[in-house]
Structure 1
Amino acid sequence: MKSLLLKSLAVLLVLGFTKPEEVQQFQGKAVYFSKATLELGRFGARMSEAQKKQIKARLKNRLEKEYVLNFNKKESFFEEEEKIDAISGATDSWGKNFSQGDQYKNIQDNELIQSQEFYGKRFLVKDQLQKITWKIEKESKKIGNYLCFKATASIPTNELTWYDFSWNDLRKAEVKKDSLGNDIQPEIEMTKVEAWYTPQIPVSHGPGEYWGLPGLILEVSAGNRVMLCSKVIINPKEKIEIEAPDKGKEITKLAYQEVIREKMIEMRNNRGRRIR
């Protein structure tokens, strides 16, 4: 902890002797590779290894993604690099309904603006940044040329995946009652997060919902997904322009979740009527 404080102090001293205009112009670009493990649950036990391999191949675009984070001292813009499906030769249109859209964060103003498209409708989600209470750990390691330090946190799972959907989430959200007829409050699921940040890049940005550490976050493990930075460019020759998305119906994260939930209930009910 003492060495961490000394390193953080060194960063502050460097910034203290840097001209204000130089700090303002500081910017960079980070490329992240994201990989998730496929969770088949009880259905996986009934499948052969060949069937599992086939499913993994078909879901490759959802399990493996590449992102770009552009940043300066106070703002960042995070977007996915779209890939063509290796099997069908098309983009994943169904998965796109529940994937993370272009995301703008302003840590100075505590502002999140995220562009989401859901069944042909465009939404502009505006909210506060996800609050994260980080615990700085003692471990350190090198990621590329950067010395990184470990931080951990526990975050409500629903807050990390508010743009996503699963039928299991819908079942959990339905109101249940006890023997006396009182509503049973669903248990809040938490996700343990492990992040590695480097004070050598003195910004509080990170990929996705993650931010708030004394250095750029280069690696994040949360649930079944790992996100690792593969390349960083500091102060590129070509100036990076960071602009917030501005198209779509303005809505909060909570209201956007309700839109998804209502649409999926409608689909489920319509499917049931067709079956009957």
Structure 2
Amino acid sequence: MSTKKHLLISLTLVSSSLFAQNMKVVYQEEMRSFVQMNMSGSTSPKQEHVSKKEMVLLYNNGESVYEPVVNHSDEEAVPVQGSPGMKVVMMGNDVKVYKNQKAKEVISEEFIMDRKFLIVDSLKDYSWQLINEDREINGYKCKKATDKSGQTTAWYCLDVPVNDGPYMFWGLPGLIIQLEHQNKKVTATNIAQVSDSECPIEKPKEGKKVTRKEFDETMMKKMKEMGMPSAGGANVKVNIIQR
């Protein structure tokens, strides 16, 4: 074996060893929604709103947790165009997702409005389709992949050999740097190796325990009541009766 080849293999092993240890990834999440007011029978035009929040992925040897940097109810008042002084309060969804690749387990705390649910499920096989397309995102060289449904696009980095990413998504030959799914876009802004004390990976344990099917059925029912689509940008209709 030549010295050059030996050096290349050694550097690869060092890189893989580095990222197999504790890692912290900060993501910026953008969620697009639409608000439509109905005041005394008069319907206003849809108003587009983009909310942003910071999320963090803590990873350690196949086990990870994805959660908000700051836990809060994320109530955000959105000004209503054409109605000075009037605002609509948008309730955010502070999601916490735990993944264990060895146990093939995923546990998540999720909200429907102000109700918290605890969902226990098996890790999903996304059957990623790897696409020969490259893009640089925040200084990271990425390759493209889509899930079998074609509804999710992921850009992953081979230079960070960790098969994990935001939410339940995982299983690519590199860390997911950017993810586009329905009305959300999530982008990694910082990747760092951290100590054990800086990487507390804990299973979610709060909320009403339900199956994924039960949660999805409850979500669809609530979205239908609010006039929101099942995919794409959230469409919130608010009725206001003037007295």
TM-score when normalising by structure 2 = 0.67
Match of 1:235 in 2: 194
CA distance in 1, matches of 2:152, 2:96: 22
Is 1:139 equivalent to 2:133 in the alignment?
yes
CA distance in 1, matches of 2:90, 2:76: 12
Match of 1:27 in 2: 22
2:75 touches 2:90 (CA, 8 Å); kept in 1?
Answer: no
* Alpha-carbon shift at residue 111 of structure 1 (Å): 0.8
- Describe the superposition over 1:50-106 as per-residue Cα deviations: whole angstroms up to 9, x where unpaired: x66xx34xx44xx33321111122111111344563668xxx97634xx35211111
Aligned-partner residue type, residue 208 of structure 1: Y
Output aligned runs, 1:70-219, within 5 Å: 70-80=58-68, 81=70, 82=72, 83=74, 85=76, 95-96=91-92, 99=93, 101-118=95-112, 121-155=115-149, 191-219=150-178
Distance 1:248 1:84, change over 3 A: closer
Give the match's secondary structure for 1:154.
coil
Is 1:255 equivalent to 2:214 in the alignment?
yes
CA distance in 1, matches of 2:160, 2:122: 24
Distance 1:16 1:153, change over 3 A: same
Give the match's secondary structure for 2:198.
coil
CA distance in 2, matches of 1:93, 1:117: 16
CA distance in 2, matches of 1:195, 1:110: 21
Tell me which protein shows more helix as a share of its residues: 1
Is 1:226 equivalent to 2:185 in the alignment?
yes
Tell me which protein shows more strand as a share of its residues: 2
Match of 1:173 in 2: none
2:22 touches 2:196 (CA, 8 Å); kept in 1?
Answer: no
CA distance in 2, matches of 1:39, 1:192: 20
1:11 touches 1:200 (CA, 8 Å); kept in 2?
Answer: no
* Alpha-carbon shift at residue 251 of structure 1 (Å): 1.8
1:11 touches 1:202 (CA, 8 Å); kept in 2?
Answer: no
2:19 touches 2:161 (CA, 8 Å); kept in 1?
Answer: no
2:77 touches 2:90 (CA, 8 Å); kept in 1?
Answer: no
CA RMSD of aligned residues (A): 3.9
CA distance in 1, matches of 2:127, 2:116: 32
Distance 1:11 1:207, change over 3 A: farther
Distance 1:120 1:225, change over 3 A: closer
Match of 2:238 in 1: none
CA distance in 2, matches of 1:222, 1:264: 17
2:75 touches 2:91 (CA, 8 Å); kept in 1?
Answer: no
* Alpha-carbon shift at residue 112 of structure 1 (Å): 0.9
CA distance in 1, matches of 2:16, 2:113: 51
CA distance in 2, matches of 1:259, 1:35: 24
* Alpha-carbon shift at residue 204 of structure 1 (Å): 1.0
Match of 2:13 in 1: 14
Match of 2:54 in 1: 66
CA distance in 2, matches of 1:153, 1:125: 22
Give the match's secondary structure for 1:113.
strand
2:160 touches 2:174 (CA, 8 Å); kept in 1?
Answer: yes
Distance 1:208 1:119, change over 3 A: closer
CA distance in 2, matches of 1:120, 1:151: 34
Q: How many matched pairs?
A: 205
Distance 1:197 1:10, change over 3 A: farther
